[in-house]
Amino acid sequence: MSTPCIGEAGHTGDWRSVRPKFDETKCLAVKAGRPACFQCWAYCPEGVIKKEIGTEVDLDYCKGCGICAEVCPAGAITMVPENAEDAE
Ligand code: SF4
Ligand code: SF4
Protein backbone atom coordinates (compact mmCIF):
# COMPACT_ATOMS: atom_id res chain seq x y z
CA MET A 1 0.00 0.00 0.00
CA SER A 2 1.26 3.43 -0.82
CA THR A 3 1.23 6.15 1.80
CA PRO A 4 -0.25 9.58 1.13
CA CYS A 5 2.14 12.34 0.24
CA ILE A 6 1.96 15.75 -1.35
CA GLY A 7 2.00 15.22 -5.10
CA GLU A 8 1.37 17.29 -8.15
CA ALA A 9 -2.35 17.24 -7.39
CA GLY A 10 -1.79 18.81 -3.97
CA HIS A 11 -4.07 18.14 -1.03
CA THR A 12 -6.70 16.07 -2.80
CA GLY A 13 -9.00 16.30 0.20
CA ASP A 14 -9.75 19.84 -0.96
CA TRP A 15 -12.00 18.35 -3.65
CA ARG A 16 -14.16 16.39 -1.22
CA SER A 17 -17.88 17.16 -0.88
CA VAL A 18 -18.61 14.66 1.90
CA ARG A 19 -16.48 13.32 4.71
CA PRO A 20 -16.62 10.30 6.99
CA LYS A 21 -17.97 10.79 10.49
CA PHE A 22 -17.17 8.10 13.04
CA ASP A 23 -19.43 7.07 15.89
CA GLU A 24 -16.97 5.54 18.32
CA THR A 25 -19.79 4.17 20.46
CA LYS A 26 -20.48 1.72 17.60
CA CYS A 27 -16.90 0.99 16.52
CA LEU A 28 -15.99 -2.66 17.23
CA ALA A 29 -12.36 -1.86 18.06
CA VAL A 30 -13.35 0.83 20.54
CA LYS A 31 -16.02 -1.35 22.11
CA ALA A 32 -13.58 -4.27 22.45
CA GLY A 33 -10.81 -2.02 23.70
CA ARG A 34 -8.28 -3.82 21.55
CA PRO A 35 -7.13 -3.92 17.92
CA ALA A 36 -10.02 -5.47 16.02
CA CYS A 37 -11.89 -5.19 12.75
CA PHE A 38 -10.11 -2.32 10.97
CA GLN A 39 -12.09 -2.97 7.80
CA CYS A 40 -12.18 0.79 7.26
CA TRP A 41 -8.38 0.90 7.36
CA ALA A 42 -8.05 -2.15 5.08
CA TYR A 43 -10.35 -0.87 2.36
CA CYS A 44 -9.61 2.85 2.31
CA PRO A 45 -8.09 3.36 -1.16
CA GLU A 46 -6.14 6.41 0.01
CA GLY A 47 -4.56 4.80 3.07
CA VAL A 48 -5.59 7.74 5.20
CA ILE A 49 -7.25 5.91 8.10
CA LYS A 50 -4.92 5.14 11.00
CA LYS A 51 -4.89 1.54 12.22
CA GLU A 52 -5.52 2.51 15.81
CA ILE A 53 -8.27 2.08 18.37
CA GLY A 54 -10.33 5.20 17.91
CA THR A 55 -10.45 6.18 14.30
CA GLU A 56 -8.48 9.05 12.85
CA VAL A 57 -8.54 10.17 9.22
CA ASP A 58 -6.07 12.40 7.42
CA LEU A 59 -8.60 14.78 5.89
CA ASP A 60 -5.92 16.44 3.78
CA TYR A 61 -6.14 13.39 1.52
CA CYS A 62 -9.49 11.69 2.23
CA LYS A 63 -11.43 12.03 -1.02
CA GLY A 64 -14.84 11.28 0.48
CA CYS A 65 -15.42 8.12 -1.55
CA GLY A 66 -17.49 6.51 1.21
CA ILE A 67 -15.93 3.06 0.94
CA CYS A 68 -15.09 3.08 4.65
CA ALA A 69 -18.76 3.66 5.47
CA GLU A 70 -19.81 0.89 3.10
CA VAL A 71 -17.50 -1.74 4.58
CA CYS A 72 -17.88 -0.90 8.28
CA PRO A 73 -19.76 -3.90 9.72
CA ALA A 74 -21.00 -1.90 12.69
CA GLY A 75 -22.49 1.06 10.88
CA ALA A 76 -20.09 3.29 12.78
CA ILE A 77 -19.28 5.53 9.82
CA THR A 78 -21.63 7.88 8.04
CA MET A 79 -20.80 10.29 5.24
CA VAL A 80 -21.80 13.84 6.02
CA PRO A 81 -21.70 16.97 3.86
CA GLU A 82 -18.36 18.72 4.01
CA ASN A 83 -19.92 21.93 5.28
CA ALA A 84 -22.12 20.29 7.93
CA GLU A 85 -21.79 21.91 11.34
CA ASP A 86 -21.17 18.55 13.01
CA ALA A 87 -18.83 17.25 10.30
CA GLU A 88 -15.93 16.79 12.72
S1 SF4 B 1 -14.74 -0.67 10.11
FE2 SF4 B 1 -16.13 0.30 11.59
S3 SF4 B 1 -16.17 -1.06 13.36
FE4 SF4 B 1 -14.39 -1.63 12.13
S5 SF4 B 1 -12.66 -0.44 13.02
FE6 SF4 B 1 -13.51 0.78 11.32
S7 SF4 B 1 -15.04 2.16 12.29
FE8 SF4 B 1 -14.57 0.49 13.76
S1 SF4 C 1 -14.10 8.36 2.50
FE2 SF4 C 1 -12.76 7.07 1.20
S3 SF4 C 1 -10.77 8.13 1.22
FE4 SF4 C 1 -11.96 8.95 2.95
S5 SF4 C 1 -11.36 7.70 4.72
FE6 SF4 C 1 -13.22 6.75 3.82
S7 SF4 C 1 -12.44 5.20 2.39
FE8 SF4 C 1 -10.74 6.60 2.88
Tens of pLDDT, residue by residue, the chain (88 residues): 666 666 666 777 888 999 999 999 999 999 999 999 999 999 999 999 999 998 899 999 999 999 999 999 999 999 999 987 665 5
Q: Is 18 within a domain?
A: no
Q: Is 8 within a domain?
A: no
Q: Is 25 within a domain?
A: no
Does the pTM surpass 0.75? The reply is yes
Q: Which of 22, 28, 67 to probe ligand 1 with, by most ligand atoms within 8 A of CB?
A: 28
Q: Is 45 within a domain?
A: yes
Q: Determine whether the shortest distance from the Cβ of 66 to ligand 2 is under 6 A.
A: yes
Q: Is 83 within a domain?
A: no
Q: Which of 80, 68, 58, 81 is nearest to 27 (CA)?
A: 68
Nearest ligand to the C-alpha atom of residue 34: 1
Nearest ligand to the C-alpha atom of residue 41: 1
- Segments forming the whole domain that contains residue 67: 32-78
Check residue 27 and give its pLDDT: 97
Nearest atom in ligand 1 to the alpha carbon of residue 38 is: 5
Q: What is the CATH number of the domain that holds 41?
A: 3.30.70
What region, left, alpha or beta, does residue 25 occupy, with left being phi > 0 and alpha being psi -120 to 50 degrees? alpha
In this structure, the number of other CB atoms found within 10 A of the CB of residue 26 comes to 15
Query: Domain tally for the chain?
Result: 1
